[in-house]
Structure 1
Amino acid sequence: MKIRFAAAAAIAIIVLCVIVFTMPPSESYQDPDTFWHIEVGNHILQDGKVPHTAVHTFYGDDKLPYVPHEMGFQIVIASLYKAFGWAGTYLLSAVCLLLLSLGLYRMMLVSRKELGFDSRGREPLLMLMLLPVIWGIYEIYFTTRPQMISAFLIVWFFVFLREFQMKQAVRYMILMPLISLLIANFHSGVWPVIIVFMGMALLESLFTRKLFNRRVGWKWLTVLLTVGGAGLLNVAGAKGVLFILTVTQDNFNLMINEWKAIQFNSMGNLTATLMLLTFIALLPFSIHKRFFRFQFMLGIFFLGVSNYKYHLFMWLFVLYFAAVVIQDVPGLRRFRLRLGSAPLIAGLVLGLAVNTVYNFQHTPQPNSFKYPVKEMDYIMETFKGPGRPKVMTLYGTSGYVMFRGADVLADGRQDPFITDETKTALGWTAFEQTINGFPVYVTDLVKANKPDFIIVTRKNASSRFYSTWVKDYGPAVKTGDFGYVFRTSPKGADE
């Protein structure tokens, strides 16, 4: 009893220390999309309706079609920000991390149960295996975006799906449609993933002939219909759950870094490379000639090497394969120390509580070297209206500029800004202009779009371009940590 208590306390302390010392709240901030999500959420809360056109743009708030596919997240994050400021947004990160960690642990238990392996006494090993994975997910992907919520929802859906395969209980027939509904309203762009998972499980049932059992068959049919139907219950309907078709139109998404293929030979991607090698090394010991595991492995491998965005799925599901490898490690085969999940839960809750308290006392603010903080301070102080100032800036900072109160050429969503209606300078869409226009074509963009201000980075302001801007617009009216502000029209000038 004393050994078990000491081991449980040690595990809880280890988990707590990992959370507090390697996963600080500051790591969950400074993503450019966060600002845009908060602003759209504020717009929804103020107007009482979800926008189906892009808001706060040069084109007005009712011109460019937009597919609202993250409405739930935007309302939650805007409400937390309104109530508690930046400290409040970490509350969502902490809750999501807790639910994801518990889901990953449950997934390991399910993986072992599928193969007939007893997990009693293996809990300490499984908990220690979990820690580097949740650290990696938090470090790379927990940046106050909808994927924080969809990550734990997808993992729990997978857990319930695998448990449903083993026992067709009614509770799973309720829980899976409920999760489908939540994903469709919080981050519908990833909703097709759970349909693919269901397709794999359905093929498994056909392969093992379970589906020919009448009792199993009608339950499967019910789950398919309810999960699919629940997904359609979102503000954008079918367009929402099929948003991937919109965002990949004409391959415009490949102009954004997170959609590009990962360079695994780069030291900057060492963490991703180590994950890929770990995943590959586990496969010979974790498939166990099971049809589902084989097809699931192919799917996760494909997603994991596709791009930075999809690489998250390799992190989410590597433990499904790793959990059963314990049986093949000589030194661990006989290890037994039954603890249950209490130490893990205690360590997670205490660690996240410490981080939350610290974050409320030392809340990170937007980085003035990464975002035009001081530059926007100047613009909002000097602009006299009417309306919002039209500020032209790079794609990566447009969300912050919009968040601060300006209209932008293109915000953090590409889909409204790749339409023919936005084509002006050089025949480019608004999205292409913000991606490719700086610094070479700034003067062309200004002539075509007529902003009130432009913000350029210090890096982009080389002597040749800077002298051209000074000649055309006069000296920079503001120099900040991020860059320079040029006034390109007399509207809103200091009186």
Structure 2
Amino acid sequence: MTKKRFAFIAYAAVTIIAILCLFPKYSYNDPDTFWHIELGQYMIEHGSVLHHAIHTFYGDQLPYVPHEIGFQIVIATIYKIFGWTGAYALTAISLFLLVLGLYRMACVSRKEMGMEQRHSALFLLVLAVTACVYYYYFAMRPQMMSAFLIVWFFVYLREFRMAPKTGYSVLLVLLSLAVANIHTGVWLVVAVFTGMAVIEAWLEKKIDKRRALTFALVLLSGLANVGGLKSIFFIFVVTRNNFNMRIDEWQPIGFAQWVNFPRMLLLLAFVSILPFVLHRKPFRFMLMLGIVYLGVSNYKQNLFMWLFLPYFAATIVDIIPHSDKLRTQWSTRAISVCLAIGLSVNLAIAAFFPPPVDRKAYPVEEMNYILQQQSDTGRPRVLAPYGASGYVMFRGGDILCDGRQDPFITSESKGVFGWTAFERSMNGFSEYLPEIVAYDRPDYVVTRNNSSYKHFDDWVSRFGDPVFKGEYGNVFLTKGMTNSKP
């Protein structure tokens, strides 16, 4: 067997094994998935875009800025037809396109610097990055689609810089439009990349009519979303009054924690290679500043450092000892086939052994009980903890706050204690619960099993004994109570 043949077989085996190790069950059970599907189903059934919250204690009166409509409609459609297996299929497709995009990005980086595009270590780097991205971020949420869209936009942006062809122009505009309608909140990244490209072209004195028109259309296409400028600048809504800091993913990264060890290695690796990968190029310098800022800001935006590590690292892999001696015919077609094999096996596993909804993380049994008590077709008013409310809405309940910040941080949602619906949902399962129940008048209250004994005893004294106890927690009947005290 020749060395090239052996290397090809080894790469194929490593690729398939790596993909098989991305176990499907870890992409399930994210709290946001449930309300994304419910919002998507509502829009499909009513044939309109949502500009207000649904299934809440406030009826349809809370304004909502649509900023993830494309993802919600896509995942709701697939879920309606294929169930959770279809939802994982969307995950697999997104992963497939992301891997190919990351590899192409690494090759383009070397192409820019006049290097041989393919290198034996590139795809191994991409696989390592993919594994971390999957386990940290691929949880049936919009970023799994926007990630590959942004990566491919960046790839074509760099290709366009080297060869300003019409095909690249069209792809850039279409990808910008896709990001703006699938995950509008991150479209600003597309705008910033485009701005960097404009500055680069100006410095290189390469701004011509085609480039100017392409850059203008890319930026204008971002406005072609259902929420307009409000959706694009949505980030300034969720960060108002620092409400976003109550959400774990917006917290500063605890690099010293063992679960963040890969993130710490990422940061150290990224900083270590910077002196050798900027190549005195203004665009790379600007990109580096943006990626470092995003990468250390919080858990949510750390994703971008993972995504763009291959771009920077691609031009330094030649220093790996003896790597130049390993040659293989590792083409994009071969990569695609191996990815398809691994992901198909995972899809089959997800189809025949679908992961159940975690009964300890979500009130599965509790909602079964509540829905069984319904004598009509109406939706019960259920007050549940913040992280479980999206699931409650998904199952058929009306809720105080469905697991988002918007539109539940608006002045329209303020109630007892002057708290918004978001604050009542976050703070309510404490000594404040009786007052919140008296104000919001839910039919049922669902509390967690890990609530303190002091709080639980107080709730029993106010609401009576729980009418049901499940793996998640307790169900209190509060329907008809005009006062929280018995």
Settle same-fold status: TM greater than 0.5.
yes
* Kept in 1: contact 2:7–2:327 (CA 8 A): no
Paired with 2:191 and 2:412, the residues of 1 have a C-alpha distance of 34
- Cα RMSD over matched residues? 1.5
Q: Is 1:172 aligned to residue 168 of structure 2? A: yes
* Kept in 2: contact 1:11–1:343 (CA 8 A): no
Greater shift, 11-20 or 268-277, is seen at 268-277
User: TM-score, normalised to structure 1's length?
Assistant: 0.94
- 2:121 is paired with a residue whose SS is helix
1:190 corresponding residue in structure 2: 186
1:143 positional shift? 0.1
1:9 positional shift? 2.2
Paired with 2:262 and 2:220, the residues of 1 have a C-alpha distance of 38
1:490 positional shift? 4.2
Deviation sequence 1:36-86 (CA, Å, 0-9, x none): 00111110111111110000000002x010011111111111111111111
Paired with 2:258 and 2:34, the residues of 1 have a C-alpha distance of 30
1:12 positional shift? 1.3
Q: Following superposition of structure 1 onto structure 2, how do residues 384-423 of structure 1 map, counting pairs within 5 Å?
A: 384-385=375-376, 387-423=378-414
* Kept in 1: contact 2:389–2:403 (CA 8 A): yes
Q: Is 1:359 aligned to residue 350 of structure 2? A: yes
1:454 positional shift? 0.7
Q: Is 1:208 aligned to residue 204 of structure 2? A: yes
Q: Following superposition of structure 1 onto structure 2, how do residues 322-337 of structure 1 map, counting pairs within 5 Å?
A: 322-337=313-328
Q: Following superposition of structure 1 onto structure 2, how do residues 136-151 of structure 1 map, counting pairs within 5 Å?
A: 136-151=132-147
2:109 corresponding residue in structure 1: 111
Q: Is 1:479 aligned to residue 469 of structure 2? A: yes
1:383 corresponding residue in structure 2: 374
- 2:407 is paired with a residue whose SS is helix
Find 2:83's aligned residue among 74, 85, 89.
85
Deviation sequence 1:365-422 (CA, Å, 0-9, x none): 1100010110111011112346211111111111000000000101122121111221
Deviation sequence 1:92-140 (CA, Å, 0-9, x none): 00000000000000000000011110124x2x32111111100001111
Q: Is 1:342 aligned to residue 333 of structure 2? A: yes
1:214 corresponding residue in structure 2: none
Greater shift, 284-293 or 354-363, is seen at 284-293
Structure 1 unmatched ranges of 5 or more: 212-216
1:182 positional shift? 0.7
* Kept in 1: contact 2:386–2:402 (CA 8 A): yes
Q: Is 1:243 aligned to residue 230 of structure 2? A: no
1:261 positional shift? 0.9
Q: 1:351 to 1:29 in 2, by over 3 A?
A: same
Paired with 1:43 and 1:387, the residues of 2 have a C-alpha distance of 16
- 2:192 is paired with a residue whose SS is helix
Q: Is 1:253 aligned to residue 244 of structure 2? A: yes
Greater shift, 372-381 or 337-346, is seen at 337-346
1:23 corresponding residue in structure 2: 22
2:435 corresponding residue in structure 1: 444
Q: Which amino acid aligns with 1:231?
A: G
Q: 1:43 to 1:196 in 2, by over 3 A?
A: same
1:57 corresponding residue in structure 2: 56
Deviation sequence 1:164-211 (CA, Å, 0-9, x none): 111111111100110011111110000010110111111112222223
* Kept in 2: contact 1:375–1:478 (CA 8 A): yes
Q: Which amino acid aligns with 1:195?
A: A
* Kept in 1: contact 2:8–2:328 (CA 8 A): no
1:352 positional shift? 0.3
Paired with 1:230 and 1:296, the residues of 2 have a C-alpha distance of 22
Structure 2 unmatched ranges of 5 or more: 482-486
User: TM-score, normalised to structure 2's length?
Assistant: 0.96
Q: Which amino acid aligns with 2:163?
A: K
1:155 positional shift? 0.2
Find 2:302's aligned residue among 298, 311, 315.
311
1:229 positional shift? 2.0
* Kept in 2: contact 1:8–1:343 (CA 8 A): no
Paired with 1:450 and 1:376, the residues of 2 have a C-alpha distance of 18
1:436 positional shift? 1.7
- 1:384 is paired with a residue whose SS is coil
Q: Which amino acid aligns with 2:456?
A: Y
Q: Which amino acid aligns with 1:188?
A: T
Paired with 2:390 and 2:413, the residues of 1 have a C-alpha distance of 18
Deviation sequence 1:303-342 (CA, Å, 0-9, x none): 0000011000001000101111122334334544443223
Paired with 2:146 and 2:300, the residues of 1 have a C-alpha distance of 13
1:364 positional shift? 0.8
Paired with 1:84 and 1:96, the residues of 2 have a C-alpha distance of 17
Greater shift, 5-14 or 131-140, is seen at 5-14
- 2:322 is paired with a residue whose SS is helix
Query: Percent identity, aligned pairs only?
Result: 48
Q: Which amino acid aligns with 1:18?
A: A
- 1:184 is paired with a residue whose SS is helix
Q: Which amino acid aligns with 1:88?
A: G
Deviation sequence 1:332-360 (CA, Å, 0-9, x none): 34544443223322211100011111110
Q: Is 1:14 aligned to residue 5 of structure 2? A: no
Deviation sequence 1:238-295 (CA, Å, 0-9, x none): 2222221222222211111111111112223222111111111221221122111111
Paired with 1:257 and 1:369, the residues of 2 have a C-alpha distance of 19
How many residue pairs align between the two structures?
A: 481
Paired with 2:476 and 2:197, the residues of 1 have a C-alpha distance of 58
1:288 corresponding residue in structure 2: 279
